Amino acid sequence: MRKKPRYHSLKKLKIRQDWSRWSLYHLSELRPPNTATKTYFQQKWAAKSATRAYHGEVIREKKWKRQFKRSIPAVVPMDFKYLATHDGAEQAAGRGAGADSEDKQRTPLQTPYMQMTYWPIERRLDTAIFRSLFASSVRQARQFVVHGLVKVNGKKMPYPGYLLNPGDMFQVEPESVMFATGAPKVRTSTARRVAKERAAARADARAANPPQIPPSSIKITAPTREEPSPAELKKTLQALMEKVEDALAEDVKAKDKQKLRDFRKTVRSAVSLWKNASPDSVSTLDNQFSFLRTHLSTYMSNAPPPPPVPSTPSDSSLPPADPNSIFSKSDTAKLRAAFDRLKAEADYDSKWNGKDASKPYRTPWRPRDYMSAFAFIPRYLEVNQNICAAVYLRHPVARPGLAEVPTPFHVETGQLAFNWYLRRR
């Protein structure tokens, strides 16, 4: 049997649908097609071969040939004001109607139909997952689908060749997405040794005193995420609000006052939207406020001491303030509160993106190498990255000056490839 050609070969530069450094290198080496020395057939063949290595290389040629459509969806953006004021007759008006202007109409931008040859492939589920940045290659996206990690409209869809219809929502397991797009785990001998030692220690501990708690109760007690309830969030925000009111009551510099007012507005809007406030936004507001407070206290050490922060639990536990210190007792209390908040924030951070050896990717999570060079989301998809779900809004279209199918090739290559498939129709 013939040896399979290399997927990423440095001999034959083929761009693949993935975020690898080889693809990037090949992209940088890509040139317009050579039309001077090759026959038309050779040009078409080369174009087909190059484009098919990128677009749907997992699809057999025969299947793709059946999918190929010579009609390509396109749109033209319309100006509603123009439509309201003109009925189109002015375009048909000749010189007899008095149209005698010398100034030529600006030629509209070219609609790149020829870059849209492979638009039916963008409908495929695996390709759409790759395009929404949920997988680092189409092959990986395909694997996710086959392994049952992908749902379409809330139902498991194990077919990578499923053609999405406009309005279909697909979602991928967030853990798999983090694995696919995150930097790979480094496996050093030290880490392995440490893990082994820990495992041994745990085994020893288990052997010494077997667990009394039945596993079912463990499941209940272990929280997946310590997220404050909306009611708690609201309370926090209201407390914050009071603090700001206090701060505003003092006479402060105009500029600072302005800042505080702006801040108060954000808090107020946050309180009104408390249902959708995330712990994240609360912590940032908190940080902002504490910074402003300290800023104020350092600038106006001669100002009357601000009223103490209400309901600070650590207030009583503090030792009396040093008389030489610039910070008054209430200030120290505030600092203490800020410190507590900082600690809480650190906890929160670690909960979101902390070190976790059990994860299959490097923790804390960071994007994998070369991801940013390939990171774009075409307009026919609407993606929510938080839940790793996306909606296929419509088919990709060509519009003046823009083709929505992401293809790395020159427009001439696209045309040649289109002609290759046209031949058999």
- Chain positions 41 to 70 lying near other proteins, rule: CB under 8 A, are 66
Note the Cα 357 to chain centre separation in Å.
Answer: 24
Using rule CB under 8 A, residue 101 touches other proteins: no
Q: Exactly one of 257, 259, 359, 394 binds other proteins (CB under 8 A); which one? A: 394
Least Å distance, CB 307 to other proteins, is 19
Using rule CB under 8 A, residue 88 touches other proteins: yes
Least Å distance, CB 100 to other proteins, is 13
Q: Exactly one of 312, 328, 385, 419 binds other proteins (CB under 8 A); which one? A: 385
Least Å distance, CB 196 to other proteins, is 28
Query: Whose Cβ is closer to other proteins: residue 246's or residue 367's?
Result: 367
Using rule CB under 8 A, residue 137 touches other proteins: no
Considering only the stretches 87-95, 190-198, 248-256, 304-312, report the one whose residues sit in contact with other proteins under the rule CB under 8 A: 87-95
Residues facing residue 182 across a β-bridge: 367
Site for other proteins in 203-222 (CB under 8 A): none
How many residues of this chain bind other proteins (CB under 8 A)? 127
Least Å distance, CB 211 to other proteins, is 25
Using rule CB under 8 A, residue 25 touches other proteins: yes
Q: Exactly one of 34, 153, 284, 350 binds other proteins (CB under 8 A); which one? A: 153
**Concatenated DSSP letters for 341-375?**
HHHHHHHHHHHHH---TTSSB-SS--BPTTHHHH-
Least Å distance, CB 94 to other proteins, is 5
Please count the CA atoms within 13 angstroms of the CA of 164 that sit on its side-chain side: 30
Where are the strands (E) in 166-312, listed by range?
168-172
Sign of CA dihedral 32, 34, 36, 40: negative
Q: Exactly one of 5, 148, 166, 184 binds other proteins (CB under 8 A); which one? A: 166
Considering only the stretches 100-108, 166-174, 200-208, 213-221, report the one whose residues sit in contact with other proteins under the rule CB under 8 A: 166-174
Q: Report whether the peptide linkage leading into residue 313 is cis, meaning its omega lies within 30 degrees of zero.
A: no
Q: Exactly one of 42, 73, 248, 256 binds other proteins (CB under 8 A); which one? A: 73
Query: Whose Cβ is closer to other proteins: residue 374's or residue 418's?
Result: 374
CA separation for the pair 325, 29 (Å, rounded): 65
Q: Exactly one of 148, 242, 353, 357 binds other proteins (CB under 8 A); which one? A: 353
Least Å distance, CB 145 to other proteins, is 11
Q: Exactly one of 141, 237, 247, 403 binds other proteins (CB under 8 A); which one? A: 403
Residue 405 near residue 119, CB atoms below 8 Å: yes
Give the type of residue at 98. Answer: G
CA dist 422 to 117, 192, 291, 418, Å? Answer: 10, 57, 66, 6
Using rule CB under 8 A, residue 325 touches other proteins: yes
- Of the candidates 352, 371, 378, 353, which has an alpha carbon nearest to the alpha carbon of residue 135? 371
Site for other proteins in 233-262 (CB under 8 A): 262
Query: Whose Cβ is closer to other proteins: residue 240's or residue 391's?
Result: 391
In this structure, the number of other CB atoms found within 10 A of the CB of residue 349 comes to 13
Least Å distance, CB 191 to other proteins, is 21
- Of the candidates 50, 66, 57, 67, which has an alpha carbon nearest to the alpha carbon of residue 4? 57
Give the per-residue contact string, 302-321, with other proteins (x = CB under 8 A; - = no). Answer: ----------------xx-x
Judging by DSSP bridges, how do beta strands 402-403 and 398-399 pair with one another?
antiparallel
140 Cβ neighbours under 8 A, 6+ residues apart: 18, 130, 180
Query: Whose Cβ is closer to other proteins: residue 25's or residue 45's?
Result: 25
Give the type of residue at 307. Answer: P
Using rule CB under 8 A, residue 146 touches other proteins: no
Using rule CB under 8 A, residue 223 touches other proteins: yes
257-267 as b/e: b if 16+ CB within 10 A = eebbeebbeeb
Give the per-residue contact string, 262-301, with other proteins (x = CB under 8 A; - = no). Answer: x--x-------x--x-x-x------x--xx--xx--x---
CA separation for the pair 146, 143 (Å, rounded): 5
Q: Exactly one of 119, 130, 162, 421 binds other proteins (CB under 8 A); which one? A: 162
Look at the block and give the residue holding tokens 């505080």.
260
Residue 278 near residue 331, CB atoms below 8 Å: no
